Structure 1
Amino acid sequence: MKTLSFSRVTIASASISALLLLSACSSSPTGRSQVILFSDSEMAQLGSQSFEQMKQEEKVSTNAKTNAYVTCVANAITKQVPKQDSFDDWEVVVFDSEQVNAFALPGGKIGVYTGLLNVATNQDQLATVLGHEVAHVLANHGNERMSRSQITNTGLQITDVALAGSEYRSMTMGALGLGVQYGITLPYGRTQETEADIMGIDLMAKAGFNPQQSIQLWKNMAKASGGSQPPELLSTHPSHNTRIQDLTAEIQKLPKYSTQAPNCQA
């Protein structure tokens, strides 16, 4: 596998560090302040490289009907996303696994585990999850986590970070939300999760899906957890009740969109 090299960033003093942090300040789509140290193209390259590695290491589903269904829902969501400068098209892959999980990576990569389809029981519920995961990408949450990790752990001394290297591989995989598989979790904060929820239900509503089904999805998730260890998708998320209450409030604020959702056959 080719190594991924980021631009050399050398911080010689505290004053230079402060200057860099000031120049790296950005805002999320909801107006929240962020520190973003990596470019969109760097994150897209990292996301694409990580995704290719996952496709080599994990079992990819060959079930044509399942792939068509997931792709149908994902395409409806991504059609509502503005054209991205760092990549041309979104790629959707279904992984054959009992994990109740899904993710989206910079570079337009979406992964869905077949175990999720046992909990997200219709296209609207699946759209809830995919809207949420795509929102993480649009809000630069992976970039934000990776930037935070660099500030905390390496003092911004970033030199030739190679995904194949054991230390940085774990860090970057974790920053992109793949910590369950790759041994390190850098969890999204509650603020980021709430932000992704808000953006996600707006995306699914724009695509014509029923946002009310997001409530049923999280009820299903609560039932699936059985009061014990939650599914991977929920491991760092707000509690079921909190999420349901927040989503209920946000749904009331949604505009009335005219888009008709596709009829995606499970």
Structure 2
Amino acid sequence: MNKELLIWIVALVMLSSCGSVPLTGRKQILLVSDQEVLTSSLTQYNDYIKTAKLSGNKKKTEQVVRVGKKIASATEAYLKANGMEAEAKNFAWEFNLVNENQVNAFCMPGGKIVVYEGLLNLVDSDDELAVVVGHEVAHAVAKHSNERMSQQLLTQYGAAVLDQAVSGSSAAVQTVAGTVYGLGAQFGVMLPYSRKHEYEADHMGLIFMAIAGYNPDKAVSFWTKMSAASDAKVPEIMSTHPGDANRISEIQKFLPEAKKYMKK
């Protein structure tokens, strides 16, 4: 295959694989079908949950389920109200509290939400928990996993695999899935998304929690607490996550928009 033809193939595949993020409207390349993402993520999640030690704390578990359901309902309501009923159907929500001291949480594509007890120990209210859950649900709604898988495919396999990756079940997709979901090697509070994805999830998460009836102002107090509790200060340039001060500053900029979604 000559170079010019290869360039045209790559351009056509990428043009046909463009999407946009709800709420923010940011354009993204999604080379993997929703069904492949959901299938691979469910496999990863089921493998994880089989070995995870679920919390025996009934009160805290009920809190996670309560907040999770309200955020999930708000998210689906937003999607349906904005002509994205098909996207809403991709979610089969599940909420778990895991008995581990990690300061962590995640939401897999498809709506499988896990919160660790270590994080819940820093949460003082449903509003603060909603900051975390809203953020994680936003990662799923924005299809950040698909975007990261697509980036991995481009990086690891090059142009030659693009057609294979978008035309059906692909061994290449399965290979990158474990790296993207990374349930055994999480960093900080969230999955290791790029800083761009983190800021976007903060933005969207504030809106989802506001629609659900939670106070988005609590995001500032929560992240201030997280900053104080952090054992190691990783320079932002060396981390996939925003620095604490930068994150709080951006959240403060998003708050006026989020508050418009609160019920009067």
TM-score, with structure 2 as normaliser: 0.81
Using the alignment, how far apart are the partners of 1:227 and 1:186 within structure 2?
Answer: 17
1:230-249 correspondence runs (5 A): 236-249=240-253
Contact 2:21–2:28 under 8 Å retained in 1: yes
Deviations 1:198-244 (A, max 9, x none): 100011111111111100100110111045469xxxx6321111111
Confirm whether residue 197 of structure 1 aligns to residue 202 of structure 2: yes
Deviations 1:78-129 (A, max 9, x none): 0011254554530111111000000011112111111101122221111001
Aligned in 2, Cα 1:103/1:208: closer, same or farther, shift over 3 Å?
same
Query: Gapped runs of 5+ residues in structure 1?
Result: 1-11, 260-266
Aligned amino acid, residue 237 of structure 1? H
1:43-62 correspondence runs (5 A): 43-62=37-56
- Counterpart of 2:67? 73
Using the alignment, how far apart are the partners of 1:38 and 1:249 within structure 2?
Answer: 33
Contact 2:98–2:116 under 8 Å retained in 1: yes
* Structure 2 residue matching 1:13: 3-state secondary structure: helix
Q: Percent identity?
A: 39
* Structure 2 residue matching 1:144: 3-state secondary structure: helix
- Counterpart of 2:21? 28
Deviations 1:37-71 (A, max 9, x none): 11212111122111101112222223322211100
User: Over aligned residues, Cα RMSD in angstroms?
Assistant: 2.5
Aligned in 2, Cα 1:150/1:179: closer, same or farther, shift over 3 Å?
farther
Deviates more, 1:136-145 or 1:150-159: 150-159
- Counterpart of 1:142? 145
Number of aligned residue pairs: give it.
237
Aligned in 2, Cα 1:63/1:25: closer, same or farther, shift over 3 Å?
same
Contact 1:201–1:211 under 8 Å retained in 2: yes
Aligned in 2, Cα 1:216/1:78: closer, same or farther, shift over 3 Å?
same
Deviations 1:133-173 (A, max 9, x none): 0000100100000001001111252474288x8xx2xx313
Using the alignment, how far apart are the partners of 1:119 and 1:249 within structure 2?
Answer: 24
Contact 1:173–1:179 under 8 Å retained in 2: no
Aligned in 2, Cα 1:55/1:201: closer, same or farther, shift over 3 Å?
same
Using the alignment, how far apart are the partners of 2:186 and 2:243 within structure 1?
Answer: 22
User: Higher helix fraction: Structure 1 or Structure 2?
Assistant: 2
Contact 2:108–2:140 under 8 Å retained in 1: yes
Using the alignment, how far apart are the partners of 1:70 and 1:52 within structure 2?
Answer: 19
Aligned in 2, Cα 1:56/1:181: closer, same or farther, shift over 3 Å?
farther
Using the alignment, how far apart are the partners of 2:128 and 2:234 within structure 1?
Answer: 21
Using the alignment, how far apart are the partners of 1:118 and 1:186 within structure 2?
Answer: 19
The counterpart of 1:161, out of the listed 168, 171, 182, is 171
- Counterpart of 2:82? none
Aligned in 2, Cα 1:225/1:146: closer, same or farther, shift over 3 Å?
same
Aligned amino acid, residue 98 of structure 2? F
The counterpart of 1:206, out of the listed 188, 194, 211, is 211
Deviates more, 1:39-48 or 1:140-149: 39-48
- Counterpart of 1:98? 101
Contact 1:90–1:110 under 8 Å retained in 2: yes
Aligned amino acid, residue 45 of structure 1? T
Using the alignment, how far apart are the partners of 1:105 and 1:154 within structure 2?
Answer: 24
* Structure 1 residue matching 2:107: 3-state secondary structure: strand
Aligned in 2, Cα 1:137/1:202: closer, same or farther, shift over 3 Å?
same
Using the alignment, how far apart are the partners of 1:118 and 1:246 within structure 2?
Answer: 25
Using the alignment, how far apart are the partners of 1:89 and 1:95 within structure 2?
Answer: 19
Contact 2:20–2:27 under 8 Å retained in 1: yes
